[in-house]
């Protein structure tokens, strides 16, 4: 870990100012990913601006019927919030499927969006990685890539975004509010994370110095028909090989609106709007689910050790759609989908 100076910001303006005033600085919230990466010498900030205690930890109703999730509210507080449980059970379950209770207690909502990939090579400075050192090459291509992307990858990078929470968010489509040196702006969630392309060093579309202040969920929460299905190499405390978030609106057996997003398969939480369109107006049948699932993975590209993910994702989509249509999953204080 490289040395750094530290300050604790008192409000958002102070935080933005403090960060702008220090070269090579970074915001730190829960720190659960940043400190990990600093210990690996992957991240080497010269200054940390602590934003964990900013007054952004509230979860409150919005006038448009939506719900505002403060950026510094912890993942646990968010998952266990009564409003979230009742109105956005998909988010409740996705958060609880991720990491461990201890990590969720420290990790913030803003920080969850800022998580970096779990790619083995990104983490290991003994190996080349374009995301860590642009231009050095991608070791995962042709290497061991069990946890890598099958959708939207580039020749420069096949890393995946590791979050569970963000998969549910991709389906729920909140607005990300940010503050920066040039003032406030909002970013649609689907535009927040990016695909690697030629510049895998950029995970998202935040401008220099911008700080996430809240996630504003729209009113529609798909509370009746939803599913979060996470598949991994052990039954808890493991990153997803593939995860699927589904939200449906149903009229009898007919799907009237759908949301579908995948985790563990791409550089960003992978929402497939064309698949959502395909589901609209269709009967909730195995045939429908199979057709849509095949469509989602139709452009999937395996890299060797992750070839199986294409088929796994297809099957997981079918399963999650079925679970959502049947209303099998419920909000709760624990995610037991893995057991």
Partner 1 sequence: MSQLLTSTPYSGGVPAPVPTGPVRLHINGETRTLQLAPWTSLLDALREYAGLTGTKKGCDHGQCGACTVLVNGRRINSCLTLAVMHEDDDITTIEGLGSEDNLSPLQQAFVDHDAFQCGYCTPGQICSAQGLLNEGHAHSEAEIKELMSGNLCRCGAYVGILDAVKEVVDKESSEVRA
Partner 2 sequence: MTQTNHIGKGPNRVDGPLKVSGAAHYSGEFNVPDLAYGYVVSSPIAKGKILKIHADEVRALPGVLEVFSHENVPYLAWFDKSYKDQIAPGGSPFRPLHEPDITFNQQPIALVVADTFELARYAAALLRIDYEQDEHETNLETKRAAGFVPGKGKTGFQPPPPPRGNPDKALKNATHSIEAEYAHGAQHHNPMELFTTTVEWRGNGKITAYDKTQGVFNVKNYLMGVFGLGKNDVRVVNQFMGGGFGSGLRPQYSVFMAVLAALELKRSVRVTLTRQQMFSIGHRPNTLQLLKMGTNPDGTLASLQHHALHETSQFEDYTENVVNWSGMLYKCENVKLGYQLAKLDIYSPQDMRAPGAASGNVGLEVAMDEMAYAAGLDPLEFRLRNYADRDQNVDKPFSSKKLRECYQQAAAKFGWENRTQEPRSMRANGKLVGMGMGGGVWDATQVKSAAKALISADGQLTVRSATGENGTGTYTIMTQIAAETLGLPLEAVTFELGDTDQPEAPIQGGSWTAASVGTAVKNACDALGEKILKLAQKPADSPLKGAKFDDVEFVNGQLRLRLDHDQAVVLRDVLQTSGETQLEADSSAMPNMVKQNGYSLHSHNVAFAEVEVDEDLGTIKVTRVVSAVAAGRILNQKTARSQVLGSVVWGLGMALMEETVMDHKFGRYVNHNFAEYHIPVNADMPHIDVIFVHEDDDIVNPLGVKGIGEVGMLGVTAAIANAVFHATGKRVRDLPIMLDKLL
Tokens of 154: 């580039």
Nearest-approach distance from CB 159 to partner 1, in angstroms: 18
Q: Which does 143 bind (CB under 5 to 8 A by kind): partner 1, partner 2, none?
A: partner 2
Nearest-approach distance from CB 307 to partner 2, in angstroms: 8
- Nearer to partner 1 among residue 122 and residue 222 (C-beta): 122
Going by C-alpha positions, the residue among 229, 268, 237, 242 that lies closest to residue 147 is 242
Integer Cα distance of 37 and 26 in angstroms: 12
- Nearer to partner 2 among residue 3 and residue 135 (C-beta): 3
Integer Cα distance of 297 and 146 in angstroms: 17
Q: How many CA atoms lie within 13 A of 204 on its CB side?
A: 26
- Nearer to partner 1 among residue 175 and residue 243 (C-beta): 243
Q: Is 5 in the site for partner 2 (CB under 8 A)?
A: no
- Nearer to partner 1 among residue 133 and residue 257 (C-beta): 133
Among 14, 17, 22, 31, indicate the residue that binds partner 1 (CB under 8 A).
Answer: 31
- Nearer to partner 2 among residue 8 and residue 146 (C-beta): 146
Among 234, 251, 252, 287, indicate the residue that binds partner 2 (CB under 8 A).
Answer: 234
Q: Is 280 in the site for partner 1 (CB under 8 A)?
A: no
Is residue 223 within 8 Å of 87, Cβ to Cβ? Answer: yes
Q: Which does 258 bind (CB under 5 to 8 A by kind): partner 2, partner 1, none?
A: none
Among 61, 198, 253, 311, indicate the residue that binds partner 2 (CB under 8 A).
Answer: 311
Helices (H), 115-186: 120-123, 165-172
The residues, ordered by sequence, that sit 6+ positions from 33 with a Cβ below 8 Å of its Cβ are 107, 111, 114, 115, 116
In DSSP terms, which residues pair with 216 in a beta bridge? 68, 175
Q: Which does 274 bind (CB under 5 to 8 A by kind): partner 2, partner 1, none?
A: none
Nearest-approach distance from CB 181 to partner 2, in angstroms: 30
Is residue 261 within 8 Å of 190, Cβ to Cβ? Answer: no
Going by C-alpha positions, the residue among 129, 122, 192 that lies closest to residue 156 is 129
- Nearer to partner 1 among residue 241 and residue 284 (C-beta): 241
Among 61, 233, 277, 326, indicate the residue that binds partner 2 (CB under 8 A).
Answer: 233
* Greatest extent of the chain over all pairs of C-alpha atoms, in Å: 60
| Strand stretches in the chain, DSSP E | 5-8, 25-28, 47-50, 59-61, 67-70, 175-180, 183-188, 211-217, 225-231, 242-251, 254-263, 270-271
| Separation of CA 82 from chain center | 21
In DSSP terms, which residues pair with 108 in a beta bridge? 74
- Nearer to partner 2 among residue 147 and residue 172 (C-beta): 147
Site string for partner 2, 107-146 (x = CB under 8 A): -----------x-xx-xxxxx-----------x--xxx-x
Residues interacting with partner 1, by CB under 8 A?
Answer: 1-6, 8, 28, 30-32, 35-36, 39-41, 44, 46, 48, 50, 52, 76, 80, 99-103, 105-106, 125-126, 133, 235-237, 333-336, 338-339
Residues interacting with partner 2, by CB under 8 A?
Answer: 1-3, 39, 41, 118, 120-121, 123-127, 139, 142-144, 146-147, 231, 233-239, 241, 308, 311-312, 315-316, 318-319, 338-339
């Amino acid at each position: 870990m490289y040395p750094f100076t530290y300050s604790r910001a008192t409000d958002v303006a102070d935080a933005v100012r403090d960060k702008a005033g220090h070269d090579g600085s970074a915001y730190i919230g829960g720190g659960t990913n940043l400190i990990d990466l600093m210990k690996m010498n992957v991240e080497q900030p010269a200054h940390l601006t602590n934003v964990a205690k900013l007054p952004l930890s509230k979860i409150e109703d919005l006038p448009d019927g939506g719900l505002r999730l403060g950026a510094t509210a912890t993942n646990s507080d968010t998952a266990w919030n009564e409003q979230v449980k009742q109105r956005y059970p998909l988010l409740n379950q996705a958060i609880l499927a991720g990491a461990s209770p201890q990590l969720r207690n420290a990790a913030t909502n803003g920080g969850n969006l800022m998580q970096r990939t779990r790619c083995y090579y990104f983490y290991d400075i003994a190996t080349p990685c374009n995301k860590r050192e642009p231009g050095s090459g991608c070791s995962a291509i042709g290497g061991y890539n069990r946890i890598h992307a099958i959708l939207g990858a580039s020749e420069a990078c096949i890393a995946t975004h590791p979050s569970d929470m963000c998969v549910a968010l991709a389906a729920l489509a909140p607005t990300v509010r940010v503050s920066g040196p040039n003032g406030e702006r909002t970013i649609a969630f689907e535009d927040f994370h990016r695909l690697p392309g030629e510049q895998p060093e950029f995970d998202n579309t935040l401008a220099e110095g911008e700080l996430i202040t809240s996630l504003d969920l729209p009113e529609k929460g798909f509370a009746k028909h939803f599913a979060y299905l996470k598949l991994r190499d052990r039954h808890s405390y493991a990153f997803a090989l593939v995860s699927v978030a589904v939200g449906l609106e149903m009229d009898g057996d007919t799907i009237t609106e759908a949301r579908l997003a995948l985790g563990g398969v791409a550089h960003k939480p992978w929402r497939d709007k064309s698949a959502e369109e395909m589901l609209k107006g269709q009967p909730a049948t195995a045939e429908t689910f199979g057709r849509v699932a095949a469509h989602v993975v139709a452009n999937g590209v395996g890299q060797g050790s992750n070839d199986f993910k294409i088929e796994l994702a297809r099957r997981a989509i079918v399963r999650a759609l079925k679970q959502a249509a049947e209303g099998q999953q419920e909000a709760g204080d624990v995610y037991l989908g893995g057991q």
